[in-house]
Amino acid sequence: MAELALGVAGIVPLIGGAIKAYKEVKRKLKLFRHRSKETKKLQKVLRIQRQVFANECRLWLKFVIEDDDIAADMVSDADHDGWRGPDLDASLRSRLHENYDTWHDITAEISQSISTLEADIMNLEERTKAKSGKLKNIVRKGQEGVKVALNAATLEKTLDKLRSSNNELKGLREQVVETHRVQGEVQMNLALVCRNHTREMLKSTLVQLEVRSQNLEWIEPKLPGQLSSTQEDGSASHKRLKVVRFAETAVQTRVQSNDGLAHVSSGQSTAYESCDLGLSKDICKELTRQLNAKCLGHLDVHSDEAFRHSFYPAKDSFCKGALHSPSTSQKVVAMDEVLDDSSRDFFSTLDRLRLARSLVTAVLKFHSTPWLSEFWRLRDLAFFKAHQSEEVSEALRTLHLRVEVTQHQLYSMEDVQASSDSLAPSQISEDERLFCGIDNSTLHSLGVALLQIGRWTRVEPEDVLKVRKLALRASSLGPRYHEITQKCLRCDFGYGSDLTKPRLQEAVYENVIGALETMISSLELADD
């Protein structure tokens, strides 16, 4: 039987062992394929599942190997030199982060299923030989014993488990890719609102820029066909390149300065040498005076993961009419300011559902970043409004989160704060969270925001009793909306309370965003 060293953690014994076992099972089944429909069916299922597994292995290897030809060669040959690379497993751990353990468990299940199938076939082979002494003669005679053995419930169960594990492996990879896409390829607007020392907003200049955010611990890209080193000077682990392009929801960052107002839209840009804007006495002036430069400079912000935000001249307009000209009077409206009867008619049911969808999307994108605090409020979001008659759909395209960074605070993530309206920390203690059943503060805050949109009234996340009472009432947006609000408040998705886990993120996406999109689609069809 092929060696499957499942007790040894790592990519080589898992993938390499599974590849060998697939080949061994395929070889043994050839002895039975001529006279048994069951063996033909089994052979077909295994061929399909083997190809699915091979495709998945190739796609997973692309996370750490640039050259697809090398990845393909490794998948087709379990003895390929690439499997013996000392950095392979460590590189995969570095790229997958919290997803690595889940990937390892699923791959181990696949290897175990293949091993079980191989053992079953070997057992069948031994029993067949015991009957006649010559396996080929027995097969030629078309004995019923082979059929009976291959119809066993245990074999069907193993095949079902193999299919399920391959589907789980595919689903996890798609989630990882989607997470990377959300972090790296989604367009958003990033507005830098510059204020002077008296905290008055200055409006002398308005420009559009592009911003690229990279993880400081692993900025240099990997070489084609070569694995990135997982250690620097024998110790520090490299982390994957993060390029953040934001969409639908934006981050509005107020930077203390003397003059200038810069509106920054994110996008991909080529890396250039740049100056450290954190050392500048006037960041806004630096961002607006050299618009023809290839790179205007960068800001380094440090937390558990340090990021470098590099600014470039805008190649295209990302605002799409949201900000028309420097002379246009743009009013910043906090979301909780519109929660009154006077503005109820301004937001239709469809607008409110779209707003709710944008909020959930923002939480999934920003929950693991310093831009969104653990306990956040609806007032932490705002949009630009040019005039009273502006369409809600147009105004909501400028929806953004607000955080505040002063120039001398750029080097400590503790100084990246929420907007001035929400600087006060939450008064909810750990005991109160346990007593009130708040399993996840971020999702609780999302539930409160959805509750406010559904009831069109103000309520604070820390006023848990009022939140619970309000949540018991029927929602004006319907029972489905009421259900997803309750799920967020109680973190009731069936996958624990850790939002950094991909399976909980997927559950939130499917149960909340999926439900909202269905409701939105129904109303859009009705309007047509």
Note the maximum CA span of the chain: 96
For helices 37-61 and 68-76, angle between their N-to-C axes, nearest 10 degrees: 150
Taking only Cα atoms into account, the Rg of the chain, rounded to an integer number of angstroms, comes to 28
> Domain locations in the chain?
11-182, 185-225+233-425, 426-528
Cβ atoms of residues 289 and 314 within 8 Å: no
What is d(CA 154, CA 518) in angstroms, rounded to the nearest whole number?
40
What is d(CA 25, CA 44) in angstroms, rounded to the nearest whole number?
12
Structure tokens at 183: 């972090």
Predicted local confidence at residue 368, as pLDDT: 74
DSSP 203-247: -S---EEEEEEEEGGG-SPPPTTSPPPS-BTTTBPP---------
Assign 3-class secondary structure to 458-499: CCCCCCHHHHHHHHHCCCCCCHHHHHHHHHHHHCCCCCCCCC
Predicted local confidence at residue 371, as pLDDT: 67
User: Residue 348 in 3-state DSSP?
Assistant: coil
Identify the sign of the CA torsion 141, 142, 145, 146. positive
Q: How many CB atoms lie within 10 A of CB 246?
A: 26
Predicted local confidence at residue 429, as pLDDT: 66
Single-letter amino acid code for the residue at 132: S
Partner residues linked to 251 by β-bridges: 190, 401
127 contact partners, CB below 8 Å, separation of at least 6: 145, 149
Predicted local confidence at residue 271, as pLDDT: 44
Distance, C-alpha 510 to centroid of its chain = 13
User: Residue 183 in 3-state DSSP?
Assistant: helix
How far, in Å, are 17, 53, 160, 315 from residue 45 at the CA level? Answer: 19, 12, 10, 51
Cβ atoms of residues 361 and 248 within 8 Å: yes
Predicted local confidence at residue 31, as pLDDT: 60
Structure tokens at 181: 């896409």
What is d(CA 139, CA 32) in angstroms, rounded to the nearest whole number?
6
What is d(CA 365, CA 468) in angstroms, rounded to the nearest whole number?
26
Cβ atoms of residues 385 and 333 within 8 Å: yes
What is d(CA 209, CA 201) in angstroms, rounded to the nearest whole number?
19
Predicted local confidence at residue 134, as pLDDT: 52
How far, in Å, are 142, 251, 334, 396, 450 from residue 385 at the CA level? Answer: 80, 16, 10, 9, 22
Per-residue pLDDT of the chain (528 residues; tens, 9 = 90+): 333 333 334 555 667 667 777 777 766 666 655 555 666 677 777 778 888 888 888 888 888 887 788 888 888 887 788 887 777 888 888 778 778 888 888 888 888 887 777 777 666 666 655 555 554 454 444 444 444 444 446 677 777 888 888 888 888 888 787 665 544 433 344 555 555 555 454 443 445 667 676 666 555 444 344 443 333 333 333 333 333 333 334 444 444 443 433 333 343 434 456 677 777 777 777 776 666 667 778 777 765 556 677 777 766 554 444 444 434 456 777 888 888 777 777 788 888 899 899 889 888 888 876 667 788 888 888 877 766 666 766 777 777 776 665 544 454 444 444 443 443 444 566 776 777 778 888 999 999 999 999 988 888 888 888 888 888 888 889 999 999 999 999 999 988 888 888 888 888 998 999 899 999 988 887 765
Cβ atoms of residues 382 and 367 within 8 Å: no
